[in-house]
Structure 1
């Protein structure tokens, strides 16, 4: 291991053991790099190009002149070398008789660009300072700066929010190489708060993760409504997967602990993506805490990460739709075609205009215990190539493309018709027994008032479009009298502007 003695790492909690583990997992040398800060010149550092899949450094430029490259990943004198590579140092020195050319930067430039030896890069989320000719006063100044930064971080918690979503078209074909349109709504959300602490603590939610009850009857009532699987497992699984991801991707995390807690007002067990919202908000907070950037974890990869937390760690049956729309936020068109998924590992995700949307409404069961087992055996039938299911998923995708055109053209009557067709198709594939009496009752009630209606998720709720405002008020009353919770949807727009109701 080679580290420049005059270099100061921006993070005093740097975990050198993680660097060694990553080095030993790779068949080559290791070079630490970081992303240049704004104003930092590339001509002052060795600049690297790193393959995002293999993490191998494909090109090294030693202090390039301004304008030579747009790359912003900078290598510093922090390397790990294998014993078998050490003889190359002698060869390099022989090739460079001039003392000014005998630098580690030139060595790596030669060994990577010309000798083609495998050298891998590991990213440090924070930067480096004081490289070169500096004095004691410079070190004192920067240490004071980092100390002040650390105190500021200790005092300021990180709070991140992710929103519930409604599937407007195409669901549940997202798990079957289909297409969907979904939207985040500001009516309901999950919120995660992270604060630095001496030990790592995951705080249980008093309602969703209860360990103390007033009586046996209280335990019965809470367990019946809330179930047994709270949000604490989601926090733990996300943290575990996050560390695993960063280790595999060559991102060196700092040795900092934190306390993590969550809150949510998303109704449980009614198919509004409450679980993935907690995972998404947790991931946001971890990324902020450890300075993980968009380039480290791009949005398509982030959606895959959230899905993997739920499917790989917690064995939850799910598709990508909810995770994609909660990462991108707003109104999103999603294409999960097999060719796209095979070629790039994710689909095409296109945010749509939200400036003028129709008056969507949402209703859900106050007691979702009879909401049905929505996914049933459809997945196995699809994997078996059963023609009815395969064609149905293609039809869901076709409906989504038509709905996209209707939304872009503000053709709300056509959109309402397509929503009804979406539910009819789902009903034919999943059958009424599978959908459950609660869902069917809500659909029937909505149709009495001439409203379009479909399931926004896995069951327990319905989303609709009623273009008659008078009947919308009457329908709300009927849903409430039937024991359902009813609300007019308020779309969540990440741009900060509120989508206007075209009926106003």
Structure 2
């Protein structure tokens, strides 16, 4: 692949204002082309682009197209920056009036150097909020699509669509369906702005000459006009990839624009590198319908603030995953100590969850057409969710990690919608780590609160996800939770039910359908605040589950806790895959006595504190850098 950096523009407005500035602060920049002005951190704007594309394993050659007026500036820059001077192409223009136009500059490079490869084109005078993005990811995405590629970003509120080339993008295929060059306000609702950052197939290069033969004036030889014609008239198939960062100094800009965005982007970077990003995800309890979520059923589940997983991310020179001192032990007091810890805790802590999430996140963003910056970070986690009791402890770590990564890379719900995130978390566990898991845990940890979920086969096949509805959490009854102090692996509880369900065994199929029906009834009971009816449904949920799974599969520990709860007249069911029970005791006077009974039986007992994201005073995001108003994407 060939890379061509275009810096042949005549920045007359900026150059004139620098020359006439009365403060004298910018005298040293007089006559300096826009691409060679200082960028963030003192580097020249073009330095960032050269560092980004100076990769021999990706590009066989990198060319730079400039004009005759500024040629000497770029020649001097090339000798100081290890850029091959022979790869600088002079388009011969000396003024704005006699400029060739961007498309003609690209065509000149292709024609004069007889290029016959795919081409990446970048305007080297754009100021980017974060230049250090992964150019290899862009190329891989381009190779995966049967057409050309346009990079775009989401404009912030202060930017007007009439100053940019606006693209409308199909969210499913990433295909650009329409291109509008500087449209009037109201003509499109899209806020996606194209920049001069393209990948063009070698077979498409002749289209440049065809386009130029129809355009004789330089203003009409812009890439905006080129893509507007090719896309809107269906001459070329063009796809879009989003860079979740800001671009500025596009076209003719003045000194105030330059100083404003230089300061803004510098502050953003300093703030981002100085402060950590911390998110929590909460444990969840299944109120009704589980385990039918894995069998095209329906469930209601709730996030609880008693137990949580917390992940912290801070920018660093290298990418580091820090082991948890308790959950990922690498140092032991003795061989006996190692034996005891390994026997009780197993061998698999949370570190593998961080690593798998990062790997799948990169893969997901590539698939979704999102180009990430090449920033490194350090991740660490903490959690108080008890292991192996079916409270979604693993997915909580994955969920919190995903939140941190999205914030770090400036991704929003528009980039990765909630249903996609829930599926992603499940895939990290099932596809990458082979952890037995169901979808409801991930849905609740993404949406948070009290969630009704419908996983019907039709929905899952047509949309790839279910129907998820947040429910009112005000005035919930006193739920309680008890769990075994020394549980077994919760994933084993499912036994051979899936095989029986897939083979169409009537007992299992009918049970899952009935669980879905109970969930709909529980939804009505929750809405009507009919706690007696809800308690009855919870008992029915467990009885039905017991009839399908058998006592042997449920295990003596779970059955013991259920029977103990019933002695106090409490409704009870399994909130997850096993190791814990969830109860609803409508007689508050029995709670103290019941707690003592569970504790004497060797169980941990606690009253549940529901986590309501709409009323909670504790923010999910505990401490993070807050991007200034000018940051393009904020979560």
For the aligned pair, the TM-score class normalised by the smaller chain equals: over 0.9
> 1:139: how far off?
4.1
Contact persistence 1:370–1:436 (CA under 8 A): no
1:307-456 to structure 2, matched below 5 A, reads 307-369=426-488, 373-456=492-575
> 1:179: how far off?
0.1
Residue 296 of structure 2 aligns with which residue? 177
SS in 2 for 1:357: coil
Alpha-carbon distance in 2 for matches of 1:348, 1:367: 36
User: Residues 467 and 23 from structure 1, CA distance in 2 versus in 1: closer, same or farther, beyond 3 angstroms?
Assistant: same
User: Residues 487 and 39 from structure 1, CA distance in 2 versus in 1: closer, same or farther, beyond 3 angstroms?
Assistant: same
Contact persistence 1:46–1:74 (CA under 8 A): yes
Contact persistence 1:362–1:486 (CA under 8 A): yes
Q: Deviations over 1:290-310 (max 9, x none)?
A: 111111100000000000000
Alpha-carbon distance in 1 for matches of 2:477, 2:234: 62
> 1:51: how far off?
1.5
Residue 490 of structure 1 aligns with which residue? 609
> 1:371: how far off?
6.8
Q: Deviations over 1:410-459 (max 9, x none)?
A: 00000000000000000011000000000000000000000000000010
User: Residues 37 and 162 from structure 1, CA distance in 2 versus in 1: closer, same or farther, beyond 3 angstroms?
Assistant: same
Contact persistence 1:371–1:438 (CA under 8 A): no
> 1:40: how far off?
1.2
- Confirm or deny that 1:297 pairs with 2:425: no
Match of 2:204 among 71, 75, 85: 85
Q: Deviations over 1:255-308 (max 9, x none)?
A: 100000000000001010000000000000000001111111000000000000
Contact persistence 1:371–1:439 (CA under 8 A): no
> 1:247: how far off?
1.4
- Confirm or deny that 1:114 pairs with 2:233: yes
> 1:212: how far off?
1.0
Q: How many residues align?
A: 498
Alpha-carbon distance in 2 for matches of 1:187, 1:325: 15
TM-score (norm 2): 0.77
Give structure 2 stretches of 5+ with no counterpart. Answer: 1-119, 618-635
- Confirm or deny that 1:47 pairs with 2:166: yes
> 1:133: how far off?
1.9
Residue 502 of structure 1 aligns with which residue? none
> 1:497: how far off?
4.3
Match of 1:241 among 360, 367, 373: 360
Alpha-carbon distance in 2 for matches of 1:277, 1:489: 17
How large is the RMSD of aligned CA atoms in angstroms?
1.5
Give structure 1 stretches of 5+ with no counterpart. Answer: 499-504
- Confirm or deny that 1:219 pairs with 2:338: yes
> 1:375: how far off?
0.3
SS in 2 for 1:43: helix
Structure with larger Rg? 2
> 1:31: how far off?
0.5
Contact persistence 1:14–1:255 (CA under 8 A): yes
4+ runs deviating over 6 angstroms: none
Residue 27 of structure 1 aligns with which residue? 146
User: Residues 224 and 140 from structure 1, CA distance in 2 versus in 1: closer, same or farther, beyond 3 angstroms?
Assistant: same
TM-score (norm 1): 0.96
1:188-207 to structure 2, matched below 5 A, reads 188-207=307-326
> 1:137: how far off?
7.2
After the TM superposition, which of the residue ranges 43-52 and 97-106 deviates more from structure 2? 97-106
User: Residues 372 and 12 from structure 1, CA distance in 2 versus in 1: closer, same or farther, beyond 3 angstroms?
Assistant: closer
